Structure 1
Amino acid sequence: MKMKLLQLFITASIPVLKTLLITALGSYLATERVNILGEDTRKHLNSVAFFVFNPALVGSSLAETITYDSMIKLWFMPVNILLTFVVGSIFGWILNLLTRTPPHLRGLIMGFCAAGNLGNLLLIIIPAVCKEKGSPFGAADVCYTSGMAYASLSMAISAVYLWSYVYNIMRIASKRNTLDQDTIQSLERSSITNQIMAPPGKLKNRVMKVVKKLNLETIFSPSIVAAIIGFVIGVVPPVRKVFIDDGAPLRVINDTVSLLGGGAIPTVTLIIGGNLLKGLRGSGIQTSLVIGVIIVRYVALPLTGILIVKGAMKFGLVHSDPLYLFVLLLQFSLPPAVNIATITQLFGAGEKECSVIMLWTYVLASVALTFWSAFFMWLVV
């Protein structure tokens, strides 16, 4: 049954408003007059979220909601998320070419275009949509259970892609920030020439140097390690009986981790609000870059997502659960991942530019995300 468009907009707007209210509180707490979330406080709190809250949320959510049977059923979701990153990266690369992005910001722009908020926002949006009166996804309790499984898997998979792919793009970009533009361009031209002219032996040495530079500690971040542990606990029945099932002897461990994970979403959202103050002060960033990221995230990616998900449905790659299809589509229309700000603060490169882009993408998210959520509901129901 097709719901009225106005009712769909109301249902879709509630989760976005919740996020905006917490973000506004973070901005207020970070003002000079209040100064509860000052810059140093945000950095320390950011480290706590990175090492404790986010891994706890990823691990506990997966352990509780993912099973072997659900993994078989949801096999297309990791592919779908990978496509959001790949397509977003391509759009980001094109945007860098069109706007002649400064070299030290190229990785940041590609990160914004590639990585959406596939964890925190879905964990807020999906339960809110399920519990909202007039939800098109059936009984609230059934919708909630399935929705949390979808959102948890989305969060875990996106964490793997974010901290292995986007993290390293931005890490490399932060190092290039110390070089002047002429030197960078010279190195790029030299690199291209060497790649064309180098014999197989030199090419092999170059590949080995790149492999050695990839620090496993940066690839296997706390969230990724937690995701692996969560998968093992959830998917392996004997391990699940020890930690998750009713009467499990070590259930207290999972309950404790879950309690810690509950602090991730409000903490990270408050940090976003504090960081957005920098965006209000401006940074001298090109207006075309901000507009370009907005167009990629809220126009190009959602339209591409519709084509991909519709194509997957046509070829029988996904089951016809409306909530599942809704989540797959929503993964293409979310604002940038909040952990991009975390990564930026860790490296200390492009923080002001990051804040400006975060400010405008999250301000416009209230409109864009509500529109796309309502449209996707109409599309799948």
Structure 2
Amino acid sequence: MNYSNKRTMDHVFASLHGTLKVNLASAVVPLLDFLSMGLIGLVLAHPKYQLVPRATFTFLSKLVFVVFLPCLIFTNLGPSITLKNLLLWWFIPVNVVVSTAIGCVLGLLVALICRPPRDYFRFTVIMTAFGNTGNLPLAIVTSVCQDDDNPFGSDCYEDGVAYVSFSQWVSVILVYTLVYHMMEPPLRDQSLTVEEEEEEDDDAQEIFEDLSSPIEDDDNENLLSRPLLVEAEWPGLEEKKTEHCKTPFIARLFTTRSSSSRLSQTTLPDVNVSPEEEGTSKHSSKCLAEPRMVKKIRSVAGMTPIHFILQPPTIASLLAIIIGMVPTLKSIVYDDDAVLSFLTDSLEILSEAMVPATMLVLGGMLAQGPNESNLGVRTTIGIIVARLFILPLIGIGVIHLADNWNFLIAGDQMFRLVLLLQYTMPSAILLGAIASLRGYAVKEASALLFWQHVVAVFSISVYIIIYYYMLV
């Protein structure tokens, strides 16, 4: 009896060992493919060898942004999207918002604990909160799904790319609204705080009118990171800059001496005005005039570059969703015998270059090395640990809780993997472009993104293996 039990236990352990070995191989091999492409880009762009000029990587990054990535989104999101799927996928954009909110809390804790220089307090929160939801997750999904024997099924690639593509529009909206204003330069000129409120409102109107007036950028402080770091996520950034991009608009708008002046007026009332007339005058002005806070909020909304949202990947996502939800258009564009099948076939061929091109650009960016930074070693380590190690652990708990509440698609493990990846990625490279546009913490963003992506090579590998054991 004991001998029989021993043989049974040996068989169980052998089967378990075999299963773990298969899962480990399934998780590690795609990662090796993923990292090898980045290593090739690093060698090609390394200053010591200079096998490929930096300008070539800049052009390659533009092709990724304008051609390869939109083609990948359009050819994979469109066939998968339906009205039913749109309702089933509702947690994908919600998860982006939830992960960003949790990241903001972590970033606030990092800022309070590590105490960065005062000018970089907002920067610490932003870089902890906003992760990469585009190129890197797409590259990982593609690497995971390239084998026909992958553990996520035959539709692994199409579903994974569709899920990642569907999440991008939320991140883009958050970056071009919330992040854009949070990344404004600090208010250094204290004389701005003593302007009269009427002059301030005139300035706000002037800034709003000049928003669409591009100018030459004479600042060379961000040239070190611009070729790959900035152009990789926002080609043509220089043409987007305006005179007031680097103006601390919100700080100037909401920091005035008007509150103290009103306080002094209420403390020392005008003796020439009777109480009845004073009350009538205040009541009339409140009824007729627009509240100042409403006017300020409206000015901020007017300064928000909403038009920047319509970039090629976002346009491709919108077109894919619209065409995919209309059966007639979908049959014309995406069916095998469709009238425009030759066009989608061409776009699909172009989309296959997205992942290798992205990894080559990433390797080229890392080959440049880190820039100097005034952020401080303690804050840099705090952001990296919070973003790459603590946030993924919280994400596991969030996704587990959402699964228990039946928010997720039953039995769809790729759906869960994409949601988990949203917590695992390093900070979005697009934040470096926003920093360059606003003239705020440009060198710090470049250095932090470099060290994050270096550490992410290890952290992503560890968490991908953990996710495999959880999901497969």
The TM-score normalised by the length of structure 1 is 0.82
Is 1:166 aligned to residue 175 of structure 2? yes
Deviations 1:187-239 (A, max 9, x none): 85983678989987001100110111112321222221211011112222111
Distance 1:27 1:181 in 2: 42
Structure 1 or 2: more helix by fraction:
1
User: What letter matches 2:97 in structure 1?
Assistant: L
Selected match of 1:367 from 447, 458, 465: 458
* Percent of residue pairs bearing the same amino acid type: 25
Question: How far has the Cα of 1:132 moved from its partner?
Answer: 5.2
2:364, 2:438 → 1: CA distance? Answer: 18
Amino acid at match of 1:246: D
Residue 351 of structure 1: CA displacement? 4.6
Q: How does 1:1-381 map to 2 (within 5 A)?
A: 4-35=19-50, 37-102=52-117, 105=120, 108-130=123-145, 135-137=150-152, 139=153, 142=154, 145-158=155-168, 160-169=169-178, 171-172=180-181, 175-176=184-185, 180=188, 188=251, 191=254, 201-280=291-370, 282-321=372-411, 322-341=413-432, 343=434, 350-381=441-472
Partners of 1:17 and 1:317 in 2: how far apart?
Answer: 33
Instruction: Name the CA distance, whole Å, in 2 between partners of 1:308 and 1:39.
Output: 41
Tell me, yes or no, if the aligned pair for 1:312 and 1:318 is still in contact at 8 Å: yes
Aligned-partner SS, 1:332: helix
* Bigger Rg, structure 1 or 2: 2
Whole-Å separation in 2 of the counterparts to 1:345 and 1:277: 20
Q: Which moved more, 1:255-264 or 1:224-233?
A: 255-264
Letter in 2 for 1:374: I
- In 2, are the aligned partners of 1:195 and 1:203 still within 8 Å (CA)? no
Aligned partners of 2:59 and 2:148: how far apart in 1? 39
Structure 1 Cα separation of the partners of residues 94 and 143 of structure 2: 26
- Map of 2:205 onto structure 1: none
Distance 1:117 1:174, change over 3 A: closer
Change (3 A) 1:175 1:208: same
Q: Is the 8 A contact 1:105 1:173 kept in 2?
A: no
**What is the CA-CA distance between 1:301 and the residue it aligns to?**
1.4
Gap runs ≥5 in structure 2: 1-14, 195-249, 263-285
Asked if structure 2 preserves the Cα contact closer than 8 Å seen for 1:23 and 1:273, the reply is yes
CA distance in 1, matches of 2:441, 2:54: 15
Q: 2: CA distance between counterparts of 1:210 and 1:102? A: 26
Structure 1 Cα separation of the partners of residues 23 and 259 of structure 2: 55
Instruction: Evaluate the alpha carbon distance shift between residue 103 and residue 7 of structure 1 in structure 2; reply closer, same or farther with a 3 A threshold.
Output: farther
Amino acid at match of 1:216: I
1:54 to 1:133, Cα distance in 2 relative to 1, 3 A: closer
Matched letter for residue 332 of structure 1: Y
- Give 3-state SS (helix, strand or coil) of 1:210's partner: helix
Distance 1:77 1:168, change over 3 A: closer
Structure 1 position 108, deviation (Å): 4.9
Asked whether the equivalents of residues 116 and 331 of structure 1 are also in contact (C-alpha less than 8 Å), the reply is yes
Q: What's the CA shift string for 1:34-75, capped at 9, x where partnerless?
A: 435544444444333333333232222211332333323322
Task: Report how far residue 168 of structure 1 moved.
Answer: 4.2
Name which of structure 1's ranges 2-11 and 206-215 shifts more when overlaid on structure 2.
Answer: 2-11
State the distance in 2 between where 1:101 and 1:180 align: 17
SS in 2 for 1:358: helix
The 10-residue stretch of structure 1 (223-232 or 197-206) with the greater mean CA deviation from structure 2: 197-206
- For the Cα contact (< 8 Å) 2:93–2:166, is it kept in 1? no
Deviation at 1:259, TM superposition (A): 3.0
Distance 1:215 1:222, change over 3 A: same
Q: Distance in 2 between matches of 1:26 and 1:18?
A: 13
Q: Could you report, residue by residue, the CA deviation over 1:116-167 in whole angstroms, capped at 9, with x for unpaired residues?
A: 3333333333344345597544x4xx2xx14532332323422x23322224
Does structure 2 conserve the Cα–Cα contact (< 8 Å) formed by 1:335 and 1:361?
yes
Check conservation: 2:176, 2:306, Cα contact below 8 A: no
CA contact (8 A) 2:131 2:425 kept: yes
CA distance in 2 between counterparts of 1:339 and 1:215 reads: 15
CA 1:374–1:188 in 2, change beyond 3 Å: closer, same or farther? same
The answer (yes or no) to whether the contact 1:330–1:376 under 8 Å persists in 2 is no
Deviations 1:232-273 (A, max 9, x none): 122221111111101111122222333333333322322222
Aligned length: 374
What secondary structure does 2:424 align onto? coil
TM-score of the aligned structures, taking structure 2 as reference length: 0.68
Q: Residue 112 of structure 1 contacts residue 336 of structure 1 at CA under 8 Å; is this kept in 2?
A: yes
When the two chains are superposed, the root-mean-square deviation of aligned CA atoms in Å is 3.5
Q: How many Å separate the matches in 1 of 2:255 and 2:75?
A: 45
Distance in 2, Cα, partners of 1:374 & 1:340: 28
One-letter amino acid of the structure 2 residue matched with residue 117 of structure 1: N
Cα distance change on mapping 1:61 and 1:103 into 2, 3 Å: farther
Judge conservation of contact 1:278–1:356 (CA < 8 Å) in 2. no
